[in-house]
């Protein structure tokens, strides 16, 4: 890693996505030099395996809310650019927050590559998230997993009903949703995070699961969640327990 006036360039300089990210960084630094404290990339560029069809996921960190460029999602020269803008304090707060989407969010906290970071903000981001994980009790992950299990189960039930009505396209959408939330259950119970939704369903083995196979997965997960505290289904009184 090289550093020059706070600019750290670890991305592949021959990659069209890398060159676009560098151009974006340069424009943002010129136009909002007094407002921006850090710029980095996450996703495939951060992992060093971007390819044709990959996005440019750029994070701009500002000193105060509402400063810097506006967030945007659009194509630039044929490449989809997801420009996220966050104030430094808010970004660190998010890194210390655990939600039911943790398996999909954690990667950006620990693998973002800095393109401009004179004060080491991205290191603080990673440390804040890892510190939060270190103090998190298993019950917190289990509670978040229950939330995803409920969403997976509901989506699966709707997929079955839609298939019975020969609403095939809608059923496919619901089964995809059920697969993703089932994958997030596994991620939370095992404290495993993923690159993206496709990576999640692939690594947890549910990418090609049909309705019957997914039903078996959800049954196994419900049994594990029950063993970890309480059933995923029960009487009304259990709702407020």
DSSP letter for each residue of 30-85? HHSTTTEEEEEEETHHHHT---TT--EEEEEEESSTT-SSPPEEEEETTEEEEEEE
Give the number of other CB atoms < 10 A from CB of residue 206.
23
Q: What is the CA radius of gyration of the chain?
A: 21
Tell me if 221 sits within 8 A of 153, measured CB to CB: no
Give pLDDT, residue 7: 40
Strands in the chain per DSSP E: 3-4, 7-8, 36-42, 56-62, 72-76, 79-87, 113-116
High-pLDDT (> 90) share of the chain, %? 90
Confidence of residue 1 (pLDDT cuts 50, 70, 90): very low
CA separation for the pair 28, 38 (Å, rounded): 10
Give the number of other CB atoms < 10 A from CB of residue 167.
15
pLDDT in tens, 31-85: 999 999 999 999 999 999 999 999 999 999 999 999 999 999 999 999 999 999 9
> What is the pairing mode between strands 79-87 and 56-62?
parallel
Q: Identify the CATH assignment for 3-133 out of 2.40.10.220, 3.40.50.720, 3.40.50.2300, 3.30.460.10.
A: 3.30.460.10
CA separation for the pair 142, 112 (Å, rounded): 27
164 or 8, which is more confident: 164
């Amino acid at each position: 890693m090289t550093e020059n006036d706070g600019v750290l360039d670890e991305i592949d300089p021959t990659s069209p996505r890398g060159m676009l990210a560098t151009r974006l960084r340069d424009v943002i630094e010129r136009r909002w030099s007094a407002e921006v404290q850090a710029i980095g990339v996450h996703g495939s560029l951060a992992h060093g395996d971007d390819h044709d069809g990959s996005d440019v996921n750029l994070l701009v960190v500002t000193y105060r809310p509402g400063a810097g460029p506006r967030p945007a999602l659009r194509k630039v020269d044929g490449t989809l650019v997801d420009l996220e803008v966050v104030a430094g304090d808010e970004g660190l707060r998010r890194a210390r927050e655990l939600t039911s989407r943790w398996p999909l969010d954690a990667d950006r906290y620990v693998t973002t590559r800095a393109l401009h970071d004179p004060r080491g903000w991205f290191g603080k981001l990673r440390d804040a998230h890892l510190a939060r994980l270190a103090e998190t009790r298993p019950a917190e992950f289990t509670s978040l997993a229950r939330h995803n299990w409920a969403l997976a189960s509901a989506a699966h039930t709707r997929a079955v009903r839609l298939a019975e009505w020969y609403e095939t396209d809608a059923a496919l959408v619901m089964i995809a949703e059920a697969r993703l939330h089932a994958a997030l259950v596994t991620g939370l119970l095992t404290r495993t995070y993923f690159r993206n939704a496709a990576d999640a369903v692939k690594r947890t083995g549910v990418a090609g699961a049909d309705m019957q196979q997914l039903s078996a997965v959800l049954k196994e997960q419900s049994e594990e969640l029950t063993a970890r505290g309480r059933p995923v289904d029960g009487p009304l009184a259990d709702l407020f327990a």
